[in-house]
Amino acid sequence: MSAPRVALLVTCLVDMFRPSVGFATVKLLEDAGCTVEVPQRQTCCGQPAWNSGDREHAKALAAQVIEEFEGFDYVVAPSGSCAATVVKDYAEMFKGDEAMVARAKALAAKTHEITSFLTDVLGISDVKQALTTSVTYHDSCSGLRSLGVSEQPRKLLGSVEGLELREMVENDVCCGFGGTFCVKFPDVSNSMVSDKTRNIADTGADMVLAGDLGCLMNMAGKASREGRTFKARHVVEILAGDTKTPAIGEDK
């Protein structure tokens, strides 16, 4: 059986702020026996435009993503929110255009968040890593509610030798980022992230992990302003064994 041909949907935040997440995702996929390619003409999935009501620009971006990615066996993203946009929103964007709806649904059927792809599609339960530390996990809204991503990252983290997972109170409550939400409602957003950083700190864990970089940047920024000592990393960095890259918001 030939190796699955997987396209990496890099995401804007990974590309611009945290390339190490992309490299860690590629490592995990290659270790799992996949052939990984990164389509060079990919761009934003259209989520910010779609959520802000800019339907035409969202459709244009979605059409480009469909064109670039539909020739692969699978599409994988290190982001629940971007994967959820492709899986849940693309067909709605092209409502009334039967041909594009069909293409959108075909792409949605083979698009996955990274930890879900490893566990649910490839059946992987052991990443063969070791790290002596304690972590807590934040369940990002889109991954959890749109794609059902919750136990998958925990299953993989459970295979990391020496790692202790300490669940926080309200682990599934929004951190307050929400893309443009934090810009439109800064006071509400700040209150929400303050609750989140307190809950993280109360676990006594050394690190908070999550599957969406936007959430992690939001939590890391607030923690830094509050003088919190816990670190923030994308879950794939730990699963791939990357602890050399500075934590989010740390100096090099």
Query: With 0-12 CB in 10 A as exposed, 13-18 as middle and 19+ as buried, what is 165?
Result: middle
Q: Residue 75 has which token pair?
A: 């599409």
Q: Residue 7 has which token pair?
A: 């396209």
Question: What does the pLDDT look like over 30-67, one tens digit per residue?
Answer: 999 999 999 999 999 999 999 999 999 999 999 999 99
Report pLDDT for 119: 98
Q: Residue 183 has which token pair?
A: 């810009």
Report pLDDT for 167: 98
Report pLDDT for 32: 97
Report pLDDT for 1: 64
**Which residue(s) pair with 233 in the sheet?**
209
Candidates 190, 118, 103; CA nearest to 153 is 118
How far, rounded to the nearest angstrom, does the alpha carbon of residue 42 sit from its chain's CA centroid? 17
Which percentage of the chain shows pLDDT scores above 90?
A: 93
